[in-house]
Amino acid sequence: MTDSSYSVFNAMVDIVAAPGKALDEVKLHTSWLWWPLLTIILLASGMMIYYYNWVDFPWLIEETIRQVPAENRAESADAIRSFMSVGTSTWTTVAAIAIMSLIIYAIQATYLHLANKLTTGAEIGFGAWFSFSVWTAFVGVFGPLAALVVIFMADSNQLATQDLQVLSLNSLLVHASADEPLFTWANSLTLTTFWTLFLMSIGYARWTGAGVAKSTTIVVLPWLLIFGGWGLVA
C-alpha cells in the first residue's frame, strides 16, 4: 500500500538513504521519473557548462592535441583547433549528455522488460522499467557534484576533463594515462556505476519477487559481458 504523504522528493532522498522504500514507492508512481531524469541531465550539463567557461580553453585545446596518438597528432592538430571552441564544446557535450542518457535508459529498460517476461512474468510495463532505470541511476549525480568540488579546489584553471572524474576506477585504482589502452575503460567505470548495479539488483528483486542472487545475475550479466570483454581486449 502506498503512503499518501510520500512525495517524489522523499524518494530522491530515500534512493540514497533507504533505497528499498524509494523503489517500492516509485513502482507505483511512474510519472515521477521526470524529476530524477531532469536532475541528472541538468546537473551534469550545468557542471560541464561551468567547466568549459572556467577552464583555460587554449590550454585545453593543446592538451586535447597532446592526447592524440603521436603518429596522428600532426594531421589532427589543425582540425581540433578549428573545431574546438567554448560554444561548440559546451553545446555538443550538453546534447550528448541528454541524448546518451535517454538511449542508455531506453536500452536498459528494454533489457529488463524482456528479462522480466522471460524469467518471472511479473506484470510490469516498459514505462515502469524506464522509470526504474532512471531512479537507480540517480546516484550518478554524485559524479558531477564531485567534479564541481574538484573545480572549486583546483589551484589553476588548467584542468583536463579526465581530472573531473574523481570517482572513476582510473582515478581511484588504475591511474592509466590517456595514451594507455585501459584509460577509457577505467574512466567509464565509477563508484556510482557499482552503486547503481546494487540498487538495480535489490530493486529487480523487490519489483518481480525474484531471489536476490537471480536478480543480481540478471542485472550484472550485460555489464559483465560488455566491460569484461572490453577489459580483456584493452
Q: Confidence band (pLDDT; 50, 70, 90) for 122? A: confident
Residue 136 lies in a domain: yes
Residue 1 lies in a domain: no
Total domain count, the chain: 1
Answer whether 198's CB lies under 8 Å from 146's CB: no
Q: What percent of the chain has pLDDT over 90?
A: 80
Q: Confidence band (pLDDT; 50, 70, 90) for 2? A: low
Residue 227 lies in a domain: yes
**How many residues would you count in the chain?**
234
Mean pLDDT of the chain: 93
- Collapsing DSSP states into helix, strand and coil, what is residue 179? coil
DSSP-H helix ranges across 120-211: 126-136, 142-153, 169, 182-188, 191-208
Residue 3 lies in a domain: no
Please give the backbone phi and psi of residue 115, each rounded to the nearest 5 degrees, phi first. Answer: -60, -40
Q: Which residue range(s) make up the domain with 197?
A: 10-233
Lowest mean pLDDT among 38-47, 61-70, 154-163, 185-194: 61-70
Report, as an integer, the average pLDDT of 205-216: 96
**Would you say residue 1 has pLDDT above 70?**
no
Residue 2 lies in a domain: no
Residue 154 lies in a domain: yes
**CA distances to 89, 108, 115, 199, 200 from 208, in Å:** 42, 16, 11, 14, 12
